Structure 1
Amino acid sequence: MNTPRRLLLAVSALSMLASPLVHAQAWPQQKPIRIIVTFSPGGSSDIVARLLQPGLQEKLGQTVIVENKPGAGSTIGANEVARAAPDGYTLLLSNTAPMSISPFMMDKAPYDPVKGFTHIAYIGSVPNVFVVHPSVPAKTMPELVKWINAQARPVNYGSGGVGSIGHIVGEMFKQQYQLKMEHVPYKGSSPMHNDLLGGSLQFAVDTLTQNVPFMKEGKLVGIAVTSRARAPMSPTVPTVGEAGYPKLVAENFLGISGPAGTPADVVDKVNKAVTDVVARPDVARRLSDLGVESEPMSAAQFTRFVTDQVNEWAPAVKASGARLN
């Protein structure tokens, strides 16, 4: 074989060997990054994803697209991410519903909430709130229980959807206190509020974030928040513990996860970008206004956090009897 031919083959072989390294180093330059939100527009997950979007674009130097993929208790969007290529271009706005709740409402979950993902960055947690239409003669949890028990028919309670944390907390409330209640699932908080504000739905368990504006205007009444401490964005509303219902403590976490096997360098870049954006004074202030309590976590810490959440919620979800058909 002549020398030019040998040289050409050698260069070609080196190029093939180097291509994975070049590909890895190029992230995220090849194409836009998608962040899948498992709820409809207008919910807390969607609001937070869009709040972080501009800063993440700036930090990562690539377009970031937020896509809403609701349905099946948040498992449709989560499963899309779990099955995606682990290349850093498809990420999940992970939260309590698809990680800690919905998989345990199914005979066979489509993914493992811990092993099926690479959990990358923690954003924060937000409580839910027991909220009623002003026509309901209840301002406290004991009064709410008394009102429910006084009704001739089961009281409908709304949530952002089957498998949402509001759904499970409502079922826990129903079972623990033997109340006559029926769950009415909605495809997100926005459509639920149409009925709740109109009075055709009188009671809901929902993320605090999107209810505070209505509570401030007197259009809805916040009965109790499900956090351990009062929420800074609604300090006059007592906690479920203060109200005498400590077993109802529950917070919805928000984070960024990717498919299992996402490269370590991508994980590091995304974790740093999320941490930096969340720490910006304007973003931190907006998150606080939304009721999101945040703290920095490494990817390893966030993975342990999700694992703990799964271990804590799985028995409660199974005990609630709530199912995803």
Structure 2
Amino acid sequence: MYRRQLPIIAAATAFTLGRPALAQTGWPSRSIRIVVTFPPGGSSDLVARVLADVLSQKLPQRVIVDNRPGAGGTLGAAHVATQPADGYTLLLSNTAPIVTSPPLYPNVAYDPAAGFTHIAYLGATPLVIMVNPRQVPANVTDLAGLVAWAKAQPAPPGYGSSGAGSVHHIFGEALMARTGVRLTHVPYRGSSPMLADLLGGAIPIGFDTLPQNVENIRSGRLRAIAVTSPMRQAMAPEVPTTGEAGFAGLLAENWLGFSAPPGLPAPIAAKLHAEVTAALALPPVQRRWEELGIALRPMSQAEFTAFVADQVKTVGGAVRALGITAQ
């Protein structure tokens, strides 16, 4: 579906945006790479490819996607951090390589806040807490009820995540610290095998991003307990928030952004921010973001830089405080 949409986005961009002169900086004079720290097919990869197509129509050079997965996203991020600050290597930054993974990998060779030029915020996707309806009673419909049910079990129920050290795992640890409930973490190599076991009944509870689970929730194969965002989500308005269940501040999201090596010249950073902001305003891009469940909010480059620093301090600090490891 994604590939069929690219001509639509390209056509819209060609008529909506012109090709400006960049003679003042000479940038770009060759192709630009967007490094994605996860394999093809995930939300980071899909977002990068949509924006690469749009930017290729606007800029006088091609923009390509370079997938460099590994070590919770830190391998790709480390690669970008050591590249020349010339605007030709960008990072599709997100929660993992910038916030949650650095505390888990002691040999990370970059500063996630100061070690990049943070350019633009691309949006965020909340998590959804789900249960297998054959294993968790029908009267458990919100987070308070789930916590009470789990506390009443003779052994800690298992919850699945996409992997040790993932935002799903970190949320599970934060949930236990906040509520005093005991759960058993069951890490998987990605969301797909976790969902297969959740649907099959091997685990009663699972945490995952919301969009890819909407159909399972609507069909009744899974029951949504809460979304980890401040507000209910348009794609699943019936699902309450963690705050509505009495746990204000117990939030989690996978945010996405554009970053570059440190020291990127201000004119190039400003140009990239302007181009990305214009791309995000295009109706085809906004429709694709809605399909992916990515919530947008305006941020200047300075605001995004401050946002990253706060995430590194608060969420990254929580990872350290909770004693979470990548094992």
TM-score by length of 2: 0.83
State how far apart, in whole Å, the 1-side matches of 2:38 and 2:181 are. 28
Helix, strand or coil for the counterpart of 1:246?
coil
* Residues 218 and 94 of structure 1, relative CA distance in 2, 3 Å threshold: same
Identity, in percent, stands at 50
Matching residue's letter, 2:57:
E
TM-score by length of 1: 0.84
State how far apart, in whole Å, the 2-side matches of 1:296 and 1:257 are. 16
Deviation at 1:166, TM superposition (A): 1.3
**Residue deviations 1:233-265, cap 9 Å, x none?**
211100000012224122222110111122223
* Residues 213 and 57 of structure 1, relative CA distance in 2, 3 Å threshold: farther
Matching residue's letter, 2:36:
V
Size of the aligned set, in residue pairs, is 303
Q: 1:164 and 2:166 equivalent?
A: yes
Higher Rg: 1
CA contact (8 A) 1:35 1:65 kept: yes
Helix, strand or coil for the counterpart of 2:211?
coil
CA contact (8 A) 2:33 2:88 kept: yes
Counterpart of 2:7?
A: none
Counterpart of 1:74?
A: 73
Deviation at 1:150, TM superposition (A): 4.0
Deviation at 1:152, TM superposition (A): 4.0
Counterpart of 1:239?
A: 241
* Residues 63 and 135 of structure 1, relative CA distance in 2, 3 Å threshold: farther
Matching residue's letter, 1:28:
P
Deviation at 1:227, TM superposition (A): 0.7
Deviation at 1:279, TM superposition (A): 0.7
CA contact (8 A) 2:162 2:191 kept: yes
**Residue deviations 1:165-192, cap 9 Å, x none?**
2111111112222333232333432343
Counterpart of 2:313?
A: 311
Q: 1:97 and 2:121 equivalent?
A: no
CA contact (8 A) 1:42 1:188 kept: no
State how far apart, in whole Å, the 1-side matches of 2:41 and 2:93 are. 16
Counterpart of 2:27?
A: 27
Q: Which one of the candidate residues 133, 138, 141 is aligned to 1:139?
A: 141
For 1:215-226, what aligned pairs fall within 5 Å after superposition? Answer: 215-226=217-228
State how far apart, in whole Å, the 2-side matches of 1:197 and 1:67 are. 33
State how far apart, in whole Å, the 1-side matches of 2:190 and 2:33 are. 20
Comparing 218-227 and 309-318, the one that deviates more: 309-318
Counterpart of 2:62?
A: 63
State how far apart, in whole Å, the 2-side matches of 1:56 and 1:81 are. 19
State how far apart, in whole Å, the 1-side matches of 2:25 and 2:259 are. 20
Matching residue's letter, 2:133:
P
Helix, strand or coil for the counterpart of 2:133?
coil
* Residues 226 and 87 of structure 1, relative CA distance in 2, 3 Å threshold: same
Helix, strand or coil for the counterpart of 1:158?
strand
CA contact (8 A) 1:158 1:184 kept: yes
* Residues 86 and 234 of structure 1, relative CA distance in 2, 3 Å threshold: same
Q: 1:37 and 2:31 equivalent?
A: no
Matching residue's letter, 1:94:
S
Counterpart of 2:50?
A: 51
Counterpart of 1:124?
A: 123
* Residues 69 and 319 of structure 1, relative CA distance in 2, 3 Å threshold: same
**Residue deviations 1:60-97, cap 9 Å, x none?**
23333223333322212221211222222221111122
Counterpart of 2:156?
A: 154
* Residues 302 and 195 of structure 1, relative CA distance in 2, 3 Å threshold: same
State how far apart, in whole Å, the 1-side matches of 2:56 and 2:189 are. 28
* Residues 162 and 88 of structure 1, relative CA distance in 2, 3 Å threshold: farther
Comparing 276-285 and 146-155, the one that deviates more: 146-155
Matching residue's letter, 1:93:
L
State how far apart, in whole Å, the 2-side matches of 1:179 and 1:49 are. 38
Counterpart of 2:4?
A: none
* Residues 244 and 262 of structure 1, relative CA distance in 2, 3 Å threshold: same
* Residues 241 and 307 of structure 1, relative CA distance in 2, 3 Å threshold: same
Matching residue's letter, 2:98:
M
Comparing 61-70 and 74-83, the one that deviates more: 61-70
Helix, strand or coil for the counterpart of 1:248?
coil
Deviation at 1:108, TM superposition (A): 4.8
**Residue deviations 1:90-127, cap 9 Å, x none?**
21111122222222234453211111101011111221
Q: 1:291 and 2:293 equivalent?
A: yes
- RMSD between aligned alpha carbons? 2.4
